[in-house]
Amino acid sequence: MNIGEEAKPPFAVLPDPSSLFLARSRRLAALAAGHTLEPYLSFLSRLTLAQHDTHGELGPATGPDAESVRQAIAHDMPPLTRAAHVTQAGAQSTIDRLLARLGGIDMPPETAAALQALRAAPAEERVRLTSVSMDLAAPGPDIAKSVLVAAGLQVHMARLASGLDADTLKPVADGVCPACGGPPMSSAVVGWPKAHNTRFCTCALCGTMWNVVRVKCVLCSSTAGISYHTIEGGGSDSVKAETCDKCRAYLKILYQVENAVLEPMADDVATLGLDLLMIEDGWTRGGRNPFLMGY
């Protein structure tokens, strides 16, 4: 960057559901070949393609009306209050459509059993699970079902978020998506023109990206005691774990500026080895990813 040419990143970048899931699917397929997690990454490549196809077959999403969006933002709240969307007909029909599409793809036996159980379950049970899955935390015995429901929820929330006005969004709290209040999945240092070398978090639910300065804990805003960890001899330095001594958690940081193909969801899953090392060292995973649920 030239001296005097300061990067001016936008605060928020909304997801485009017509490319978000397809990009994830392609990246997962590329990562899968020869990877120790090949079967799982290949399955996720098919699942994200099903998310893409589900979006493609739906008409325009009906989000909250302009006045409630305006009021939420005026009160420092994310405009897509997640709880309000769990029971919404749009959420459930999107989840149902994804589940129907998944019927045709190759998947691990445990996931296939969960899919069958979900499709046979009464609507209230799916609503209950949607509510549980929203947090993307370790959901106990329902884990396989929660992953599938969360995948449907991602499609729904990305569609709603894409209808917002990015320029009106503002920070709501540390580690919280300004559009839906969801948790970050990972963060990335981007190479975009005008935002070169700036960092964005990606929401685990709706895919909105929000700007957070570098060398600062995304989860608690501490700027002291920040360190970076990679797998020693792991070959690539383009994905690191950013740790914070204050909250003892870490969030991954992807250097897209060095390697433009890195994708916040796909590369998060593919670097599970880094999580295992960090967790063994006593750090808590601060990012949430439906496809790493339980870590």
Q: Which residues are at the interface with Zn ion (CB under 5 A)?
A: 177, 179-180, 182, 203, 205-206, 208, 217, 219-220, 222, 244, 246-247
The pairing of strands 184-189 and 249-255 is parallel
148-162 burial code (b ≥16 CB/10 A, e <16): bbbbbbbbbbbbbbb
Cβ-contact 82, 180 below 8 angstroms? yes
Q: How long a stretch of residues is the chain? A: 295
**First and final C-alpha spacing in the chain:** 38
- Quote the radius of gyration of the chain (alpha carbons, Å): 18
Cβ-contact 99, 195 below 8 angstroms? no
Measured from the CB of residue 191, what is the shortest distance to Zn ion in angstroms? 23
CB closer to Zn ion, 160 vs 257: 160
Give CA separation, 15 vs 139, 149, 156, 173, 245, in Å. Answer: 26, 19, 12, 20, 32
CB closer to Zn ion, 27 vs 85: 85
CB closer to Zn ion, 111 vs 208: 208
Measured from the CB of residue 219, what is the shortest distance to Zn ion in angstroms? 5
Report which of 198, 271, 212, 207 is spatially closest to residue 244, judged by C-alpha positions: 212
For tokens 């917002």, name the residue.
164
Measured from the CB of residue 176, what is the shortest distance to Zn ion in angstroms? 9
Measured from the CB of residue 225, what is the shortest distance to Zn ion in angstroms? 8
Measured from the CB of residue 132, what is the shortest distance to Zn ion in angstroms? 18
CB closer to Zn ion, 190 vs 257: 190
218 φψ region: left (φ > 0), alpha (ψ -120 to 50), beta (else): alpha
Cβ-based neighbours of 47, under 8 Å, separated by 6 or more: 102, 105, 107, 151
CB closer to Zn ion, 92 vs 162: 162
Measured from the CB of residue 270, what is the shortest distance to Zn ion in angstroms? 22
CB closer to Zn ion, 99 vs 205: 205
Query: At 254, which helix (H) or strand (E)?
Result: strand 249-255
CB closer to Zn ion, 169 vs 179: 179
Measured from the CB of residue 8, what is the shortest distance to Zn ion in angstroms? 23
DSSP 283: P
Burial class for 36, CB neighbours closer than 10 Å (0-12, 13-18, 19+): exposed
Measured from the CB of residue 243, what is the shortest distance to Zn ion in angstroms? 8
CB closer to Zn ion, 15 vs 139: 15
